[in-house]
Amino acid sequence: MKDGIEGTDLSKIKVFNGAKEFIENQKRKGNIPIIVSDSHQNYVKPIAEQIFNVEFVSLTDKPNWEKTEKFILSKPHLAEQYQNKDNFLLIGDSWLDIELGRKLNIRTVYTKFYKASEVEERDGIGQDWKPVKSGPTFFASTFSDLEKIIENPIEKLLAIESIFQGGNSNEMTKFLYRNYNGNFVAFRCLARQEDGECDRFSRADKYYQIDNPNRNKDFLSKLAKGVENYLKRVAKFPEYNWDFFTYVSDKVTTTPPNKMKEIFELVQTSFNKETLFEWNKDVKGSLRNQPNYQARRDFIASNLNLLPNLDLANKNIIVLDDQFTSSATANEISHQLRQNGVKNILFIALFYLILPIESKICPNCGQPMKIKIKRENGNKFYSCVPPKYRGNGCGHIENI
């Protein structure tokens, strides 16, 4: 039916409980629901018109953006709204939807209304890690969640992204959860660092300011406030009885000095704050320059250690770090803590690097261009990255 080969039998189309009511409610509020589908028109049209009574675009070939944008621009009432991308929200259940939204520079919602019984390569369903790494703006598991996002989006952004928009969200990305005989390790992230196209709320510009020697107290305080807001959410589950809140310490050679320590000290929380880790004083090189995941794990294992004479048996510990990229730091630190008898571990990263999206082609040489960011001021520009900077392009630059 999806391919238009068989006639669409609407009696076989299962509709989530609450879906029709959600769509009708949005229409009453003046919003315009549109179905965006890779399936054939013969399948999408009766669903859109007879079940939901909404507009639709079919055979979109996600995550390619051309047909969806052409559809928007062909409708005067949509084209006018498209001048402000914040008027649009792409809601979907696979990484294909999230990438499409990023290429359109509009906000996205990754929905988890069900648990996939198998991975479906064609529709990108069931690949739980990839939608998260694709960097959705919001997450929703119910239609009620969607209502809240639409009504008050700033308060449903990730905690640090919300702070820089004047909000006070306590939302995070659930990156990983492992159960160890009743105890757990969980990784959570509070903002996205984008690579390429994305909505305007992602915060690569703020991530690079962490390394800027000229970063100011107001910037650091906002980062700390985002962490505080999330920790208040964590504190609502007293059964875990968190013993320590700590952070990934800074190397002696870190620039600026005490990069993470300053942020950690600004975080106001009821949890007991302690320094538990230290780098070897003679450490050489950096984690960033390690070639792969295992090399990063080995670098951490050899150079970052727990302080001596700590009694961590049966303790629950929260760890704060600046970025979640390959997960090497988070996994190695969790390993060290578990080796020392720690029960539950919550690893929080200020930012996580989302998968690269490239949708602009260089007018000079035809190579894909990447969005780059000037570290000193956070300004973005398209770059046809030349071999000098590990690319294959001609060096053409366009400011954004």
Q: Which of 73, 154, 127, 68 is nearest to 103 (CA)?
A: 68
pLDDT on residue 257: 84
Q: Strand, coil or helix: what is 10? A: helix
DSSP lists the bridge partners of residue 244 as: 317
pLDDT on residue 375: 61
**Secondary structure in 3-state letters for 265-331:** HHCCCCCCECCCEEECCCCCCCHHHCCCHHHHHHHHHHHEEECCCCCCCCCCEEEEEEEECCCHHHH
Q: Strand, coil or helix: what is 357? A: strand
Pairs from 10-16 (Cβ < 8 Å, separation ≥ 24): 10/46, 10/47, 10/50, 10/51, 13/47, 13/51, 15/51, 16/113, 16/114, 16/143
pLDDT on residue 378: 64
Around 384, how many Cα atoms within 13 Å sit in the side-chain half-sphere? Answer: 15
pLDDT on residue 233: 97
196 CA to centre of own chain: 13
Rg of the Cα trace of the chain?
Answer: 23
CA dist list (Å): 373 to 106, 164, 207, 398:
20, 18, 10, 12
Q: Which of 385, 382, 360 is nearest to 371 (CA)?
A: 382
pLDDT on residue 90: 98
CB 357 within 8 A of CB 196: yes
Q: Strand, coil or helix: what is 9? A: coil
256 Cβ contact list (under 8 Å, min separation 6): 211, 212, 213, 215
Domains of the chain: residue spans and CATH: 10-163 (3.40.50.1000), 173-353 (3.40.50), 360-399 (2.20.25)
Tokens at 22, concatenated: 């959600």
CB 301 within 8 A of CB 334: no
Residue type at 72 in one-letter notation: I
CB 100 within 8 A of CB 88: no
pLDDT on residue 152: 97
Backbone angles phi, psi at 80, to 5 degrees: -65, -45
Distance, in Å, from the CA atom of 226 to the CA atom of 1, rounded to the nearest integer, reads 47
Distance, in Å, from the CA atom of 328 to the CA atom of 305, rounded to the nearest integer, reads 14
Distance, in Å, from the CA atom of 185 to the CA atom of 40, rounded to the nearest integer, reads 43
- What is the block-wise mean pLDDT of the chain (400 residues), using blocks of 10 residues? 92 94 97 96 97 96 92 96 97 94 96 88 78 96 97 98 97 94 96 91 89 91 98 93 95 85 96 95 84 91 92 97 92 96 97 86 88 70 87 88
pLDDT on residue 102: 95
Angle 259-266/217-235 helices, nearest 10 degrees? 60
196 Cβ contact list (under 8 Å, min separation 6): 102, 356, 357, 358, 359, 370, 371
pLDDT on residue 371: 75
246 membership: H or E segment, kind and range = strand 244-247
